[in-house]
Amino acid sequence: MLSNIWNTVLYGPLLNALAFLVSVVPGGDVGLAVIILTILVKLLIFPLSQKSIESQVAMNLLAPEINKIKESGASKEEQAKMTFELYKRHKTNPFSGCLLILIQLPIIFALYYVFFKGINFDSELLYSFIKVPEKMNMLFLGFLEISGKSLFLALLAGVSQYLQAYFMPKPPAIKNSSSPTFAESFGKSMNMQMKYVFPFVVAFIAYTISGAVALYWITSNLFAVGQQIYVNKNEKSVLDEEVKVLISKK
């Protein structure tokens, strides 16, 4: 049952989209088709991922106010109430970012799985109006082999993952050195691992599987970097002004 849903809703449509793209891109360049499909999927989930990034940016901008609440001397219950009211005023939910990420994960994983299984269109999953591409060129741009291991693309995948982690919003700097909460400690630890550990993991996975997977990671990460820069530029100033208005009223 679950496998049928997976094939019908996620894996099947993406596999067919890749087959179509390989058929129409110049020279049947599979690498180019991988890039186009990855960008299309990222554009599809752009509203969700943008909201997730906006939520993280908002948390950072509200950090000074949260610090004031923590230093006010109020009881834990009163601090929680004041923090909730602050989030409510600014229409910010600290858990919304995680929820939106969880919604995106099945789509992202299905796209990864298409490339993980290898570029093979001899499957009954192809729709009747989608033909097996007559020509499949596994030399990306005519010189980068993507059907097997590619150290060059794997290293680029690792570098792009580092860039993505570098530009992503940092955990809010909440002043609570005496007893940081689990969420604060976890957020800081996760940020460090995403920045300094995960790039090596991505490079290793990309190298052990194929150049197509590496190309997917590179495209996905670079798209995320551009999106994060865009959101920071367009949303940070707006949220910052909202915080200033809140402070001026106190």
Q: How far apart are the first and last CA of the chain?
A: 57
Q: What is the pLDDT of residue 27?
A: 86
User: 187 vs 167, which has greater pLDDT?
Assistant: 167
Question: How far is Cα 44 from Cα 120, in angstroms, rounded to an integer?
Answer: 24
Can you state the percent helix, strand and coil of the chain, rounding each to 5? 75, 0, 25
- pLDDT digits over 94-132, tens only? 666 565 566 667 877 887 888 877 677 766 778 888 888
Calculate the CA 8 to chain-centre distance: 23
Q: Please report, rounded to a whole number, the percentage of residues in the chain having pLDDT higher than 90.
A: 14
**Residue appearing with tokens 């955990």:** 171
- pLDDT digits over 176-202, tens only? 545 555 455 555 666 677 777 888 988
Q: What is the pLDDT of residue 223?
A: 92
| Res. 243 pLDDT band, cuts 50 70 90 | low
Q: What is the DSSP letter of 27?
A: G
Q: What is the pLDDT of residue 32?
A: 93
Mean pLDDT of 1-5: 68
Does position 38 have pLDDT exceeding 80, yes or no? yes
Three-state secondary structure of 130-194:
CCCCCCCECEECCCEECCCCCHHHHHHHHHHHHHHHHHCCCCCCCCCCCCCCHHHHHHHHHHHHH
The tokens for 39 are: 């960008």
Mean pLDDT of 218-226: 91
Answer yes or no: are the C-beta atoms of 99 and 92 closer than 8 Å: no
Does position 10 have pLDDT exceeding 60, yes or no? yes
Question: How far is Cα 235 from Cα 233, in angstroms, rounded to an integer?
Answer: 6
Q: What is the DSSP letter of 75?
A: -
Answer yes or no: are the C-beta atoms of 146 and 140 closer than 8 Å: yes
Q: What is the pLDDT of residue 244?
A: 57
Length of the chain: 250
Question: How far is Cα 150 from Cα 212, in angstroms, rounded to an integer?
Answer: 9
User: 182 vs 227, which has greater pLDDT?
Assistant: 227
Answer yes or no: are the C-beta atoms of 193 and 11 closer than 8 Å: no
Mean pLDDT of 142-151: 85
- pLDDT digits over 58-107, tens only? 677 677 777 777 777 777 777 777 777 777 766 666 666 565 566 667 87
What average pLDDT does the structure give for the chain?
77
Query: What are the extents of the domains in the chain?
Result: 2-248
